[in-house]
């Protein structure tokens, strides 16, 4: 049977095996999908061993995405832009192809929630790996403006300069942000520590859409904060998780699974509904 898995550390709580097993059942593909948690300095060896032993493809998550970028034989254009790889496929001619489906997953999830990206003003919080992966796919949707704000402002400036050729992207310091924005995307890891990015509540209005790439069984700190200040449309990163997985599955198997039912099952599994 064709074998796939996700590499991460820690990875025990990953939902990817659950998601891909449901995709395989739905599309009647015969495959198995597991977990691998190599020591941080043993990822390269573990990756080689997996493919030497017949593995067909894998997902890569924290903290290995940047290292995976340097280990594959060939990169897709979107992985090159993202500077990170979250999906690897062994091609028929034996080449390890590195791809990145995170940004496509974000855009697909925003669209499935009915969020309009064309001509919109988007505020992206954070300038780390997650923000980098989102930039090209967001700019491809032709927003009228995309502003990056980051705690360390110089990193936002560097990122804006790097993606400037793709669209109207600028960097603004948190304390100088000028609204109104139609959509705020939180790509920071602040919610992981229950912290908030230093955003003024004045930017939150009833028609704004709020997206937190993090998720949990209950609202993230950022989503609670936005709701408290009047945001009516809030979304967490669970849908992005399922959509990036669907994109990876499509890369591997050439068949696109439906995501709605799988997202519902995942929510039930997490106790969200
Ligand atoms: P990831 O790959 O998830 O993006 P990362 O590359 O470590 O992780 O980036 C984390 C991002 O969250 C950074 O933009 C970081 O800001 P700095 O560049 O200033 O470090 C941001 N971040 C983390 N904790 C934060 C907090 N409490 N408030 C605001 N931003 C935070």
pLDDT value of residue 93: 95
Q: How far is the CA of 255 from the centre of ligand 1 (A)?
A: 35
61 pLDDT more than 80? yes
Among the listed residues 15, 56, 65, 111, the single catalytic one is 65
Distance (Å) from CA 151 to ligand 1 centroid: 7
Look at residue 273 in the predicted model and tell me its pLDDT: 76
Distance CA 195, CA 189 (A): 9
- Over 80: is that where the pLDDT of 176 sits? yes
Ligand 1, atom 6: closest residue by C-alpha: 128
Is this prediction's pTM over 0.75? Answer: yes
- Is residue 97 within 8 Å of residue 72, measured between CB atoms? yes
65 an active-site residue? yes
The string of pLDDT tens digits covering residues 200-209 is: 999 999 999 9
Q: Which atom of ligand 1 is nearest to the CA of 213?
A: 3
| Phi-psi domain of 212 (left: phi exceeds 0; alpha: psi -120 through 50; beta: other) | beta
| Angle formed by the axes of helices 260-270 and 16-27, nearest 10° | 140
d(CA 156, CA 158): 5
DSSP state, residue 72: S
Cis preceding-peptide flag for 53 (omega within 30 of 0): no
d(CA 137, CA 209): 18
Q: Tens digit of pLDDT for each residue in 7-52?
A: 999 999 999 999 999 999 999 999 999 999 999 999 999 999 999 9
How many residues make up the chain in this entry? 273
Task: Compute the average pLDDT of residues 172-176.
Answer: 97
Nearest to 134 by CA among 109, 105, 114, 177: 105
pLDDT band at 193 (very low <50, low <70, confident <90, very high): confident
Q: What are the φ/ψ torsions at residue 166 (nearest 5 degrees)? A: -95, -10
Contact 151 CB / ligand 1 (< 6 Å): yes
Q: Among 33, 43, 44, 40, which Cα is nearest to 1's?
A: 33
Distance 22 CA to ligand 1 centre (A): 32
Position in ligand 1 atom list of the atom nearest CA 193: 27
Task: Report the residue among 83, 177, 189 best suited for mutation to probe ligand 1: largest number of ligand atoms under 8 A from its CB.
Answer: 189
Q: Ligand 1 centre and the CA of 3: distance in Å? A: 34
Confidence (pLDDT) at 271: 87
Q: Is the peptide bond before 63 cis (omega within 30 degrees of 0)?
A: yes
Q: What is the pLDDT of residues 214-224, one digit of tens each?
A: 998 899 999 99
Beta-carbon count within 10 A of 141 CB: 18
CA 137 to chain centre: 11
**Selection from 269, 270, 263 nearest residue 23 by Cα:** 263
């Amino acid at each position: 049977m064709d074998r796939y898995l996700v590499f991460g550390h820690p990875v025990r709580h990953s939902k990817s095996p659950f998601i891909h097993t449901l995709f395989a059942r739905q599309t009647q593909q015969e495959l198995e999908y597991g977990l691998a948690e190599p020591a941080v300095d043993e990822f390269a060896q573990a990756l080689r061993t997996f493919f030497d032993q017949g593995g067909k493809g894998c997902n890569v998550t924290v903290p290995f995405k940047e290292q995976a970028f340097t280990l594959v034989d060939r990169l897709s254009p979107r992985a090159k832009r993202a500077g990170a790889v979250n999906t690897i496929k062994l091609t028929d001619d034996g080449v390890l192809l590195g791809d990145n489906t995170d940004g496509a997953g974000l855009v697909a999830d925003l669209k499935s929630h009915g969020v309009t990206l064309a001509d919109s003003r988007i505020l992206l919080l954070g300038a780390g790996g997650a923000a980098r992966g989102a930039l090209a796919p967001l700019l491809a949707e032709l927003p009228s403006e995309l502003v990056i704000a980051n705690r360390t402002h110089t990193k936002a400036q560097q990122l804006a300069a790097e993606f400037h050729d793709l669209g109207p992207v600028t960097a603004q310091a948190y304390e100088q942000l000028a609204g109104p924005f139609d959509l705020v995307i939180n790509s920071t890891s602040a919610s992981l520590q229950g912290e908030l990015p230093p955003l003024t509540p004045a930017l939150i209005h009833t028609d704004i859409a709020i997206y937190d790439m993090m998720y949990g069984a209950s609202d993230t700190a950022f989503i609670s904060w936005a709701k408290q200040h009047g945001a009516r449309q809030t979304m967490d990163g669970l849908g992005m998780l399922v959509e990036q997985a669907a994109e990876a599955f499509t890369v591997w198997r050439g068949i696109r699974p439906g995501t709605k039912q799988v997202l519902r099952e995942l929510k039930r599994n997490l106790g969200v509904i």
